[in-house]
Structure 1
Amino acid sequence: MSTVYHDYSGFSNITTFGETYAAFGNIEGLNFIEKLWASYYTYIGNDIFATGLLFFTVHEALYFGRCIPWAIIDRIPYFNKYKIQDTKIPSNQEQWECLKSVLTSHFLVEAFPIWFFHPLCQKIGISYQVPFPTVATMALQVAVFFVLEDAWHYWFHRALHYGVFYKYIHKQHHRYAAPFGLTAEYAHPVEVMLLGFGTVGIPIVWCLITGDLHLFTVCIWIALRLFQAVDAHSGYEFPWSLHHFLPIWAGADHHDEHHHHFIGSYASSFRWWDFLLDTEAGPKGKSSREAKMKVKAESKKSI
């Protein structure tokens, strides 16, 4: 029996998922999602398999579930006016070639370590029992993960643009100068593992340091990170895009400049690293650097 719950004394003659959920329905203090979570683990009966299946399925469903709307938008002329590089609409052939590569990566690179994630969780103390932590606790941890992953992504992404690292690893990701949703995970296996550590490794390190993390929080974090990555590669800028309301948010316009100019704008979620270190790509970044150089030159003349 799964260890997702501590007391199964009230459970008897349970053979279906519906009966499992009904049994958890009689337990006070569990919300709808917690009951579903516990019912799933209990019904599967093998926690290692349950976690592996859950994470692989969630990743595939959310990734392609977020990519498909962008692929549809690419085929609707009305939205061309919102396309950042409006003369470079991805063809069906490009979408298909990218899809094949991404699926190969998912099944041959990412699937294998996913099935070993549950034993790692048990070893380092990532909980998966019900009830879940409070919403405030999960929100705080996810916010911290966004900040830390952004720093990891900035420095390692920037490093991948140097010499042999770009030629033999990162160049694959830059095959498409005008990105589209599916290209978010179109990358060399080494890059998938290196930058992917920022998504998976940071929660692991957090748990090793604090001893406080739940697997459901990791699910929420990965879901939001997937949405961010796909949207950043969408190639579309809308009046309602998030960075208009949250100026520090990077968004598609920030990352599209990176693909367009092949250098600069290295961060994933936020703009502060590129702003502080003068690595913003595109005309705006160039104008900003020129303005700072002018101010610096004039200040030297006045001394």
Structure 2
Amino acid sequence: MASLSLMDAFADFWATTLATYGPRRVEIFGFLLVQTLSFWVPSAIYIALPWIAPQFSERHKIQPAPKQPTAADIRHCALIVVRNNAMATALTVGLSLLAGDPADQANKLLGMRIEAKLPTLAEFARDFILCCVGREIMFYYSHRLLHQPRFYRTIHKTHHKFIAPVALAAQYAHPIEHLLANMLPIGLPPLLLHAHVLTYWPFMAFMLVETATVHSGYDFFDGAAKMHDLHHEKFNLNYGAFGFMDYFHGTNTLKRKRVD
């Protein structure tokens, strides 16, 4: 009964918010809020761990101190991430304006629903899982493409400046890479599914926390960061985030070089 009352209260709050501020303002503000709370805050905590909890940090840090980026590297990284966030926000605003009436998105090829009616639990779970699968597939293939020599030298090498990554380095990327490998794999699946914005935001938050964590350089989440940390060190394995695409393509292990 209490949970039902809580859902009713949230439904009333959501409907009132949409009626007061309009779908577009809510969409943009929500995007910025999720970006801040799910990426910048966790990244700041991970980066500050050596000062907040030095013994804990030392115990769980994957790579040794000599390989860690300097304070100047991290400041430069933050500036690039701000630029990429600004690009993502501009694209979100532009797409929102081009999309037209938010109540009519289900009748278009691409569209996200921003409506007072809440998604059902079954719809939320279905779209959330499908978005995660879609993101993994898109990220895996775009990431592997960026490792082709012609694209690696001109685009992806920027991201691999951090051999021992830190959380903010998850979005330290060339603008083309940020669009193809970071933004589209997260933004396109909800648009294709016509997902509710209240499904998109938790999905986006989960992806941002995940990417900050796997770039954090810490192994305390059951080795979640080790796979991607090894990718930054060795370059030619673990292209995906969750691992099932790497398992399918056999890129989850480091191949030995053939000796003739």
- Name the TM-score class by shorter chain: 0.7 to 0.9
Matched with 2:44 is: 68
Normalising by the residue count of structure 1, what TM-score does the alignment of the two structures yield?
0.73
Matched with 1:116 is: 94
Gaps of 5+ in 2: 107-111
Matched with 1:12 is: none
Matched with 2:225 is: 252
How far has the Cα of 1:89 moved from its partner? Answer: 3.3
Higher normalized contact order (CA 8 Å, seq sep 6+, divided by chain length): 2
Report whether the alignment pairs 1:266 with 2:228: no
How far has the Cα of 1:69 moved from its partner? Answer: 1.1
How far has the Cα of 1:29 moved from its partner? Answer: 9.1
Report whether the alignment pairs 1:202 with 2:189: yes
CA 1:267–1:29: 2 relative to 1, 3 Å: closer
Matched with 2:217 is: 235
Letter in 2 for 1:199: I
How far has the Cα of 1:242 moved from its partner? Answer: 4.6
CA 1:33–1:63: 2 relative to 1, 3 Å: farther
Matched with 2:207 is: 225
Matched with 2:150 is: 164
User: SS where residue 31 of structure 1 aligns?
Assistant: helix
Normalising by the residue count of structure 2, what TM-score does the alignment of the two structures yield?
0.84
Matched with 1:300 is: none
Matches of 2:9 and 2:165, distance apart in 1 = 38
CA 1:29–1:236: 2 relative to 1, 3 Å: closer
What percentage of residue pairs aligned between the two structures are identical? 24
Question: Comparing both structures, which one devotes a greater share of its residues to helix?
Answer: 2
Let me know the Cα RMSD of the aligned residues. Answer: 2.2
Of 31, 47, 58, 2:34 maps to 58
Matched with 1:21 is: none
Report whether the alignment pairs 1:134 with 2:120: yes
Tell me, yes or no, if the aligned pair for 2:135 and 2:189 is still in contact at 8 Å: yes
Q: How many residues align?
A: 241
Measured against aligned partners, the alpha-carbon deviations of 1:108-132 in whole angstroms (never above 9, x if no partner) come to x111111134342725323222331
How far has the Cα of 1:278 moved from its partner? Answer: 2.1
Matches of 2:54 and 2:222, distance apart in 1 = 23
How far has the Cα of 1:30 moved from its partner? Answer: 5.0
Measured against aligned partners, the alpha-carbon deviations of 1:206-258 in whole angstroms (never above 9, x if no partner) come to 22xxxxx21110111111111111111011112xx256xxxxxxx21110000
Larger radius of gyration: 1
Gaps of 5+ in 1: 1-27, 208-212, 244-250, 294-303
Matched with 1:276 is: 248
How far has the Cα of 1:276 moved from its partner? Answer: 2.9
Report whether the alignment pairs 1:103 with 2:82: yes
